[in-house]
Amino acid sequence: LETTGGALCTEILAGVGAGSVIGMSDAWGALTWGDVLAEIERQGRDAFVASVTPGGRPHLAIVWLVVVDDTVHFVGDRTSVKVRNLAATPAVACHWQVPDDDRRQLMIHGEASLVEDPTARRRLWSSGAWGDLAQWYQGPDDPQLAFVRIDATRASIVEQAGAGPRFRWRAGDTA
């Protein structure tokens, strides 16, 4: 849901405390997808992924979110709750941990999908983005290994836990 001014109500649920948005302007600065990718690199791999259970309840898991070919991915066991949830209901929200040195938050919303194409799975496996996956899986064709792709539809960066500048990107933005 969006307010008339464009501030996203879901961002309150995705990590911006409700108290921090009271009395704030609805003004948002513009971001490019390149800005979002640079912020992912700055924030690091540790992030939270929110999914929806079959019963409609929220589920939150910490994962290593990485960028391969300008797209956000994570890996998990095919039987894990997060992977099963996203396979059934692909709506996803990601939130990067707030570094100790500042209160800058990155949130991405989008659709998740399992990467099934063997060529794409080999490319992700060999990217090295997750370190040595062979510690846990037998190879890119291991049936337990799930590569999850996140096709972002919007992203936002808020500073000072929502009290500072706010920036937003949406799929299809030309800026």
Which among 149, 155, 143 has a CA at the least distance from the CA of 87?
A: 149
Share of the chain above pLDDT 70, in %: 75
- Tell me if residue 98 falls in helix, strand or coil: coil
Find how far residue 168's CA is from the centre of its chain: 14
Amino acid at 106: L
Q: What is the pLDDT of residue 99?
A: 65
Q: What is the mean predicted confidence (pLDDT) over 122-147? A: 93
For 38-94, how does the pLDDT look when each residue is reduced to its tens digit (9 = 90+)?
999 888 888 999 999 999 999 999 999 999 999 999 999 999 999 999 999 999 999
For 85-131, how does the pLDDT look when each residue is reduced to its tens digit (9 = 90+)?
999 999 999 998 776 666 788 999 999 999 999 999 999 999 988 88
Cβ(137)–Cβ(124) below 8 Å:
no
Joined tokens for residue 38: 């640079």
Per the document, the length of the chain is 175
Q: What is the pLDDT of residue 160?
A: 67
Find how far residue 173's CA is from the centre of its chain: 18
* pTM of the shown model: 0.77
| Least confident span in 17-26, 74-83, 136-145 | 17-26
Q: What is the pLDDT of residue 166?
A: 67
